[in-house]
Structure 1
Amino acid sequence: MLVSEVQQGDPIRVSVIDDDPMICQAMSLILTDYSSGRIHVVSTSTDGTTAVERAGSEHPDVVLMDIAMPGMDGIEATRMLRTLSPAPHVLILTSLSPSNTVERAIEAGAEGFVSKTDAPEEIIRRVLGVCEGTPQFNTASQRQLIGDLTAQRPQSRRDEARALLDSPPEREREAVVLAAEGYTNAEIASRMFISERTAKAHLSSASDKLSMGRVQMARLVERADIPARL
């Protein structure tokens, strides 16, 4: 899976998707006014179908995606966006986190959440962070995610996850494990004594082999119950 990468010095291209036009307008203003030119809003849409159609030509780096929308909801739209090449990073835009939202969003390929009530600086931080390869979860969804991942794992699921992780070569697998532990691309490069570009290449290659995004690979590592590196 080829993931959208922002060239140094270029503004991050963002699309905002929400069925409430006022939310689209508010988020666009925040992203424009508080990012010091680092973010450019390329479009807003009020439904998932339009968002997916426009993304194919607009090539956003990040999509802020509402969940509850008429027609195609945010989960399905996220799933379709992640099949594009390059695929945009998707942050779920929400004010609520129902019990199954985190699980469904991650399975669809989302890399984090942005609350509609977050401070402008926090919203900007999350957009910048996801472009650096770091999953973005607010406190409530992070607790829920940890609960999901630390739930009792059947032996068969653990063995299946370990078998899947054996498919990438050792160095790619090492990068995946470090990413699952929360290290940024730069930190992975430092710990593996490689360039940041090579670290990104390892993760991209592993993503292609596993047909998973970064957050999905992190969940795979958790299911495999691999001990943390010291």
Structure 2
Amino acid sequence: MTTVLIVDDQPLHRLGLRILLESVPETQVAGEAGSGSEAVRRTAELHPDVVLMDIRMPGMDGIEATRRIVASGNRSRVLVLTTFDLDEYAHAALRAGASGFLLKDARPEELLGGIRAVAAGDAIISPGLTRRLLDAYAQHLPRATREDGDAKLETLTEREREILLAIAHGWTNPEIAERLHLSESTVKTHVGRVLAKVGARDRVQAVIFAYDIGLTYPNPAWPAG
């Protein structure tokens, strides 16, 4: 059973999401919130598995709410619902720590599948799509503290740096295994260690980390050899 907190400033939207989530046995609505500040408070109270987060709300928006939920150390994962697939606000939410985003007009099965994936610890958008988001908004984004990123990078072995760079290129585990001549189980182990060392909650956040520290750039080419 996956518990979900619905966050949207429109009561009708919340009702529609509640009806959908309660129509399937594997999800349970833990509660609702109509603003970012209420979302932060309710997440701390209810500890839902997934927070369905609207972005554009009066007062505290979904980006700041996401940032505060993630910073609190709460294990709840944030799934952003947005109107546009390349919405700069959705991108900012990813950088704030969201585990992914879906369009508000996504099909019901897509939304339910996304909730299951996020609850299981996966990101529901591919690292490749995150790369395109980074490329689209690179000139508008603040960079993370380089010193902090460099310190984390230094904890990686040479092989783990290769894995991080492969993740940043949007490669899947089977693709990494094939190109680096490793078994998929070995790749999975390396990926887990990389995420832990750089402090990334999932592969999407690892892509953003690699971009922030200058390990990869918009539209990169994999080094020859």
TM-score (norm 2): 0.72
Contact map agreement 2:131 2:207 (CA 8 A) in 1: no
Letter in 2 for 1:220: F
Question: 1:151: how far off?
Answer: 7.7
1:166 aligns with 2:153: yes
Q: How does 1:1-230 map to 2 (within 5 A)?
A: 11-33=1-23, 35=24, 37-97=25-85, 99-137=87-125, 142=129, 146-149=132-135, 160=146, 163=150, 166-170=153-157, 176-177=164-165, 179-180=167-168, 181=170, 183=172, 191-193=184-186, 202=193, 205-206=196-197, 210-214=198-202, 215-222=204-211, 223-225=214-216, 227=222
Displacement of 1:212: 4.5
User: 95-104 or 111-120, which moves further after superposition?
Assistant: 95-104
Cα distance in 1 for residues equivalent to 2:16 and 2:66: 21
Q: Which has the higher contact order (CA 8 A, sep 6+)?
A: 1
**Mind listing any 5+ residue stretches in structure 2 that lack a counterpart?**
none
| Matches of 2:115 and 2:194, distance apart in 1 | 20
Rounded Cα–Cα distance in structure 2 between residues aligned with 1:86 and 1:101: 22
Unaligned runs of 5+ in 1: 1-10
State the secondary structure of the residue aligned to 1:221.
Answer: helix
C-alpha displacement at 1:84, in angstroms?
2.5
**Partner amino acid for 2:50?**
V
What amino acid is the match of 2:29? V
Measure the CA separation in 2 of the matches of 1:175 and 1:46: 41
Q: Deviations over 1:144-178 (max 9, x none)?
A: 8505337889xxx8xx5983552333276566556
Cα 1:168/1:150, change in 2 over 3 Å: farther
Task: Please report how far the alpha carbon of residue 98 of structure 1 lies from its aligned counterpart in structure 2 after TM superposition.
Answer: 6.3
Helix, strand or coil at the partner of 2:48: coil
Q: Which amino acid aligns with 2:31?
A: S
CA distance in 2, matches of 1:61, 1:179: 25
**For the residues of structure 1 that align with 2:98 and 2:171, how far apart are their CA atoms?**
16
Instruction: Pick which of 213-222 and 114-123 moved more.
Output: 213-222
Q: 1:8 maps to what in 2?
A: none
Give CA deviations for 1:39-98 in whole Å, capped at 9, x if unaligned: 221111111111111111211111110111111110100000101233321111122356
> 1:42 & 1:65 partners in 2: Cα distance?
14
Letter in 2 for 1:96: F
Kept after mapping to 1: 8 A contact 2:165/2:215: no
Q: How many residues align?
A: 204
Percent identity between the aligned chains?
28
